[in-house]
Chains A and B, each alone.
Chain A
Amino acid sequence: MFRNFIKVTFRNLLKYKTFSAVNLLGLSVGLGCFLLIGLWIKDETSYDKFHEFGPRIYRVMENQTHSNGEIATQAEVPGLLGEALKNEVPELVYVSSMDWWTNTLISYDNQSVKEEGRYVGEDFLKMFSFPLLKGNKESALSRPNTIVISQRLANKLFPGAEPMGKVLRVANFSNFEVTGVMADIPSNTVFKFDFLLPYKEFIQRNAWAQQWNNNGLHTYVMLNENADIQSVNQKIKNIVRQHSDQDNVDLFLQPLTDIYLKTDFKNGVYQGGGRMEYVRLFGIIGLLVLLLACINFMNLSTARATVRAREVGVKKVVGAGKRALIFQFNAEALLFCLLAAAMAVLAIEVVLPAFNQFTGKTIRLLYDDPGAWFTLSGIVLLTSLLAGTYPAFVLSAFRPVAVLKGQFDKTQRGVLLRKLLVVSQFGVAIFMVVSMLVVQQQLNYLQNKTLGYERERLLFVTMNHEIQSKYATFSSDLKNVPGVQAVSASHSPLTGFINASGNFAWAGKNPEDDRMFVYENVAPDYLSTIGAPLLEGRDFSTEHPGDSANFIVNELAVTEMGLKAPVVGQRLKGWGKEGQIIGVVKDFHFTSLKEKLQPLILTMNSPYVWTASVRIDSRNTAEVLSNIENVCKKYSPVYPFEYEFADIAYDELYKSESIISRLASLFAILAVFISCLGLFGLATFTAERRVKEIGVRKVLGATAGNIVGLLSQDYLKLVLTGILLAAPLAWWATRQWLSDFPYRIELSWWVFALAGLLVMGISFLTISFQSVKAALANPVRSLRSE
């Protein structure tokens, strides 16, 4: 019997080509989107799940409660915390601290490469599943001056040779012996490194890290099998308070597998947000797109029920029961879904390289994973049930007497449901289009907002310790490069000032007040170089040697401190110095606009600047860059020249939003496409069904315009209803999304009008294709055929 179903399905598929194409295309696009989003979600939620002890590993987090009641949550903790935890909390099997170090130079013989590495504790390799291919994980990092490198780095530095025992020079200042080679770390982990160094070295070299009052290191712990997380949290909560004079710090543990997805803490606890929000959002989008495709299938199958009616009638007469027919139609839907799934997999295979490049992932189709096949089969089965069950019940319910006489159920029930489904389809489509436009608008707003400094032609040049130690002569050499207008430097790049402190003091400060100020070390002429205007006073200058003890503050800092004019000349103390405020700079944004503007204090401390800011003019950029590189090479011949334009660095801040926005646009377009595909199918069917009516109307004098109007208006009314119903929902949802941004666009009515017009226009064109064809057909032919 199943063979019979398959035959009938394929013959129908070939006989009714438009219907089949619309259904197959819709279902394959829907399934394709769903599967692609599914793969993306699978990847997003797989971060750090591969560690054998993963469920027992946590990151130590710190909540700092400020005097204004705000709680700031951070992963940066004191450098001595790891050791203290290990000694004081018996439930912890392993503890490893880790620094934040990024790229540095690794040299062997005459070869130097820049790689990312970390200082980690001895336990690191024992708790995390980063297996060693060579060396012993128990002892690889137990001696000073040892290094563990990745297989990739080993191949790069010692192609075909034995890496173990070789001595590498790190950052051109110290030698390390290779004591282990680890397998390359997978992409789905929050850790990115190609070499590991012993943490003890870090502590010895950095005096600040030996103080409990300084934060900046990450600490990971692994609990024993029987440990109760609540009780461990209770035990570690006050450890920083016990070791320091900080009385506003509480510690807690964050599961390792939450680190990637759950980053958005408010008032000390995770309250949704972070990448998890996007995982949920795209999960919903995937489901909606698939649902749209299923609605197409349902609508077209029930609309075409009359075509199948005789088959149903005859089969019932010759003995088919209702159950057998329901089974048959569901089997048909399943076959359609299988075909669509095959097309979807093929399409995914084609788009995956571009998708990976775009999202920065390494997703692949898991042909060798039985679990993936099982999941795919489940999705196909569920889709076929979702799409096929309703039509199966409608079709199998035909009474043979009625259908064999050519009389059909004239009730409006099926029609009403079909209308409802079209309304929901376009509701979803308009919702997604509005969201797409709003996300796009917000992103444009963020990327183009005036930041308070001049982004164009501003260059950030990374300085290594060789350049940094000779900053004065380096900057003066740079200023002599033709095309360079100004040179200064800061500790962090202008797009991410990250250091903050609550230890500043000024006249009239309440001793209880521990509000945080972002502070940044800069070099002379910093504000004039970046183009941030001063409201009062002057910039740091080499002409004023006393400036190294002075400060420049932003407007917000003045407000926060409650300073009265004139601000310049007032005393300020903090970060180990005491001096006067020499300038007030107009507020400018020094982090992403996803964060509120912070009060800022600038100090001039040249030895601690690592990023040169270089203002260039509009002459030949390539030549200017080449000359800047020559200057860098003069001071540091080994290190590669690294630079970034400020506007590009700024756009990088919104990389994930940009990806999300483009993905949302893609899926919104596909949602409209699928909905219109369904509309096209329905319009085709209506035009076929009303061919006699159209003929009669034309004979009676109707113009082609009348006919197009007649055939289009019913569907356009449905589309309009969908738009009107979904618009308030879209308004609410986009407003919610925007409310997370401190700087945001105002929702305007025209976005909704534009989305509505766009969808209405596309729908009209879709319907017109069929209705114009029907309107222009020769009425004689249709009447004769009757």
Chain B
Amino acid sequence: MVLADWGNQISSALAAMSNSTIINEETINHLLKEVGNALSRADVSMSLIIKMRKNIQAQIKLDQMAAGLNKRRIIRKVVFDELIKLLDPGVTPWKPTKGKSNIIMFVGLQGAGKTTSVTKLAHFYKRKGWNTAMVCADTFRAGAFAQLQHNATKAKIPFYGSESEKDPVAAAKKGVEIFRKEGAEIIIVDTSGRHKQESELFKEMSEIETVIQPDNVIFVMDSSIGQAAYDQAMAFKTSVKVGSVIITKMDGNSKGGGAISAVAATQSPIIFIGSGEHIPDLEIFNPTSFVSKLLGLGDVNGMVEM
């Protein structure tokens, strides 16, 4: 029995509903509160939670539910769909074009997992047969050059970086130029971690963008981030043309609700999740399993089958 395995507050709230013979206003309110709590525990931003609860409420029209229909099933589906909807900004994710140099720029907060994900993505494209290269434009962090260089060696991917160059804009420009000339199809540029409170760092990011003219900017976000997610994501979005999001460290225990807030802020689709420290640990984003984890519903298939 799948339901018994769930062991979280939403499922028990749903279970309680099935036991009580009538589903009334009160049981619905209780359920909405539990849903709100589960989302809060998963770090979804407060304002989104309030909005969602309203949406769900509007969709559950008690009197319209025909007798004999499984009300519990209907309600659960509404909750689930509402979350999936939040994750879908309705934008088709950017795809590289064959026969040209596609420039991808990585941005994000300090330690989010940019450099690691740059290599993962390069490896992903390389395996699909694209001619791929990486550029280190992080001239600030100690050991940033060595980090990407080691990764490049491990993944056998061409790499540009300079230990003496102090200007990240110049480094980005040079690296992209070199690989463009060489006819690389995918050129991924790694940048330093930064945060909205340091305007100088954001200015630098815009300058890099201007100089390399990326075809896509990927915003990398740590899945464990809490309530600061929205503001930071919003700031990145308004500074550079964020086109996609990668959520990292999903192999941990965090539920990744901050990520939902980031999607809401950037209106950009999540394309991959990072699920470990090794180069192949990159998974194509699947909204259903993401929402299942977010709600603490372990087994996705069980969810569908119920």
Do chains A and B interact in one complex?
no
Which chain A residues have a beta carbon within 8 Å of chain B's beta carbons? none
